[in-house]
Structure 1
């Protein structure tokens, strides 16, 4: 798996670097899509990103997205301001500051009763840079770094019996992440096709050289010499609670239509798959016992519709996303640490389709 991931990463980087010959863009849709004036710096699992004419005129651009994600037994609200500027016509640099709130049922195991939980606060900060490449400015590459500024050890319960909340209720992942993206646009008579490919690789860094919880949750463990508890760098995405986030690849295609004056309609499809199985830490505080995530998805997709109300000063973008993923496999009852059931690709889980959706609204402005 390590060799496979390294080969894919190297091939993707080489393909992107082959286009590093920037020229002034000539397309009249130069501000649509990608990470430029008309596109978000990074996508998300819901597949929503700004597609439209965006805003021009200032040195600094602000994009604010508000999203509400609703499922059968949970809901989540996120507010993600992103600020960016262009040091040159072909380069954009940005930072995203996420705020979030989670509400829903928590049930660690099927023999336990579900309980309602709520969390909220500041998440993991992301920095991104994009560079226009190739002839005519139709392509760009992007690199994003996410750092673990959000809390990922939120727990609930009494002092005598506390439990960590699932990853979906945490404000952060506990790991760093690098995302390398390649984006390409192709003009049509009344619109544009947008293609995107992104490889994401989580990793972890400890500047102190040890697990952040050695003196608290793991104080009863012998941590000397164990690379789970003493490390400076992990090339894989394992956090200090034992949760593991695998690297992943995602691809998307979208069509933007500008046949109506002052409006840009977009229709998109995003598909993603991880290069491994996610692991979750033990829910019991003070117990280091990670296991494969029983809710792991071998693949996921999202259907997205977006509409930009194109205005020169403050354009507004509204989007709706419907996710679709494979059916989850139950853990092996005789060995809950066996991840082979979660590796299997299944047919779509049509029972959950239309039971989850995301509604987003965004606004842009430029100043200075």
Structure 2
């Protein structure tokens, strides 16, 4: 059976160029990263920091770890942080901000990830002796749970103005920030120049097998190194991990993300006029959300898709399809045919 995996862009495998880069390593390219002695890691961190316009960067083992050590480095236990209510940090990172950071998390609603920062003013707390200090606000771009929405630069600019007024730091969960930059045809620095820290994943659309980058000021990154060690992220000869990302951060590989976004739109067009009771959300980037009726048993439709060779996930009465390196137009066209047949089978029995 032909298997098409839409579960996530985390299922990507390295490109031939990445394997070739790894093959060039020998012991002269490796060292103890905890001691700051791995030349390949050091090169990657310099390259990543420059790419997003920050002073310094650190290699983390995952996006969740990168987000966590950023929060730990820019807050104090007992502080309150502001996070959009469907953000990855709030929904999918095991409550690390509260459990490990001792932080109070206050959520706010949005319109598919967008909001008016000035309307958050009533949430700010920093003067009353009885209240925690609000010290940081988090953004997410692209916004995963809203369907890979690419948030505009104007939101970042307005958030910076709001943060400066209220003495807040800004952290950007930019797991897929390069998808946003490609979709909006803007340099990534047009987003990152408005935030104090940014985390971006190497193991999603950039197709590396492991790792994320956290970038910010030199002072913040020095703190983050200590927190990374605290949570078990101190790696040794990590050049083995860092070699492939050196290829992934080249401009041509980042530009390749446009292919994923075209394939997501191709899938959208193929499912749009099905005549079935589904809501197909137009994708901004490489994530397509398909909504189902409130009483539809999602586990059943996922089971049917899996049985027909289409791997994917569901969340909140929606199915998420993620396009990525390794899927081409033919895969998408084949999938459209199978998905529509499976959906029809489901609704005929529902």
Category of TM-score, reference length = shorter chain: under 0.3
Q: Give TM-score, length-normalised by structure 2.
A: 0.24
Q: Give TM-score, length-normalised by structure 1.
A: 0.24
Higher RCO (CA < 8 A, seq sep 6+)? 2
| Richer in strand (by share) | 1
